[in-house]
Amino acid sequence: MSASIPIVAIHGVGGSGRVWSRVGRILNGKIRLLPIDLPGHGGAPGRPSPTIYGYAHALSKAIEPYGKVLLVGLSMGGGVAVATYLNRPSNVVGIVLVNSALRMPLLPPDMDRESLCRRIYLGARFRRGCVRELAKVPDEVLRADMRAAAYDLLGDAHRVGVPVLFLRGSFDRLVGADVISESVRRVPGASVSVLPASHMAPVEFPRAVSRALSEFYFRTVKDSPAV
């Protein structure tokens, strides 16, 4: 049976909850993983937000019925996770940021879909799939997400009072190690784990991500032994 506290998983720029599907299948039966579509993404209604706070407001409402949750966010989704915690700290038992940080650099405004896919994926097959999927994403969504992804929460780092794990892909070509290290130093008690993975680690390297998530989850919620 799945552990009682679910993991709520948040996607990044132009994505949807589908980026967590492989991780969800690996954890199935052990940990309940709930992939979220942010407003205007995937099958979710609403308009995209140009700030992580707009997304955090929506996510805060979405997690309310579950009581306690552990949040995991990929890239921009990591900022949404932290902003959601700051909004509803009593609902969040822990946070995992995958290739994400509390302060993220501004993406080049002229970066096209193909260039973005080259930066976030290693495998050619995944890159081609990325280009196909992003072609379906409206320009409005990508523009909003590009703006939302350039956030700065470092000033709130001292307010984070739950366990935080940063997962950094050693092959990530979008978010540098120095960016993540800065956040690790600022968040009280935060830890970092380096995975042999690309920026889109949940898609290309789901087993490594699942293992790290599982270990952190059971260490944090103390529900059952790690898988």
Q: Which residues contact 42 (CB under 8 A, 6 or more apart)?
A: 11, 15, 16, 17, 18
Mean pLDDT for 152-179 is 96
Confidence of residue 222 (pLDDT cuts 50, 70, 90): confident
pTM of the model: 0.94
Percentage, residues of the chain above pLDDT 90: 91
Low-confidence winner among 81-85, 104-108, 132-136 (lowest mean pLDDT): 104-108
| pLDDT over threshold 80, residue 106 | no
Question: What per-residue confidence (pLDDT) applies to 216?
Answer: 98
| pLDDT over threshold 50, residue 144 | yes
| pLDDT over threshold 90, residue 152 | yes
Confidence of residue 1 (pLDDT cuts 50, 70, 90): very low
| pLDDT over threshold 70, residue 23 | yes
Confidence of residue 209 (pLDDT cuts 50, 70, 90): very high
| pLDDT over threshold 70, residue 118 | yes
Confidence of residue 58 (pLDDT cuts 50, 70, 90): very high
Mean pLDDT for 168-181 is 95
* pLDDT digit string, tens, across residues 185-200: 999 999 999 999 999 9
- The chain-wide mean pLDDT, for the chain, equals 94
Give the CATH number of domain 3-221; options: 2.60.120.10, 3.40.50.1000, 3.30.450.80, 3.40.50.1820. 3.40.50.1820
Question: What per-residue confidence (pLDDT) applies to 3?
Answer: 66
Question: What per-residue confidence (pLDDT) applies to 109?
Answer: 66
